[in-house]
Each structure stands twice: as structure tokens, then as C-alpha cells.
Amino acid sequence: MKKVIAIVFAVAILSSFWYLHSRIAARKAQAQRDQLYQAKLHFFQRSVRLGMHRSEAQAYLDSEKVSYGQMNSDLAVKIGEDPSSVWYCDRWFVYIEFRFNQLRGQTNPSPLDNLESISIQRIGHCL
């Protein structure tokens, strides 16, 4: 009986160490990804000035051969994917979002919309 208790205790200790090690490794990997995302954000913040027209921002991204898409009425450059820590999402897509101001009542993006902000956005791929 003592042998069984010792084995169960040893398995519990090893499982705890494995869990802690995997959590520490996951946090370290996330910190490295976040550092990369911040570097890409700073690059775009230095390269693209606030207030420029949408058409100028698109021309810059095209000239640098940066792939981008439209998210709502803003532009988005996918810069990575993060694993999820919750069961109902399998991953998070990470974007640099170029947010443009629009005139009140304006329904479609205009080439003359002004760049308002550049930020990192995460969108979950969830249930």
C-alpha cells in the first residue's frame, strides 16, 4: 500500500513540474511574440504618419509589398497568430490595424479618409 501511495505521489509531483515547465515555456514564447509584434508596430508607426490619406497609406503598403486587407472600414496587416488559453478559441490572429476617420454618415471608405491611429489588434478564432 505504501508503494502505491509513493507512486501516486511521485506521479503527482512529476505532473506538477511538467505543468509548471510548460506554463513557463508558453509565457516565454508569448513574450517573444509580443516583442516581435511591438517591433512591427513601431516600424509602421515610424514609416506611416498619422493624418495621411487612406490612398497614401495603401500606396505605401503596396510599394513595400506588404499584404493587407480591409477590416470593417480600416486596413489590417496580419503579423502573427497566438495560441489560445481558453477552450472555446483555438487561436488568435494578430494584426496591425490602420484606423481611419470617416465623416459622419459616410457609409464606404474614401481614399481621402485620414489615418487616425496604428495599433495592435487580436481577433479570436472562436466558437
State which H helix or E strand residue 57 sits in: helix 54-63
- Band (pLDDT 50/70/90 cuts) for residue 15 is confident
Residue with cell 503596396: 62
The answer, yes or no, to whether residue 50 has pLDDT greater than 90, is: yes
Residue 119 is predicted with a pLDDT of 97
The structure's pTM equals 0.81
Contacts of 99 (CB under 8 A, 6+ apart): 74, 115, 116, 117, 118, 119
The answer, yes or no, to whether residue 72 has pLDDT greater than 90, is: no
Q: How far apart are CA 33 and CA 97, in angstroms?
A: 17
Name the range with the highest mean pLDDT among 8-12, 14-18, 34-38, 109-113. 34-38
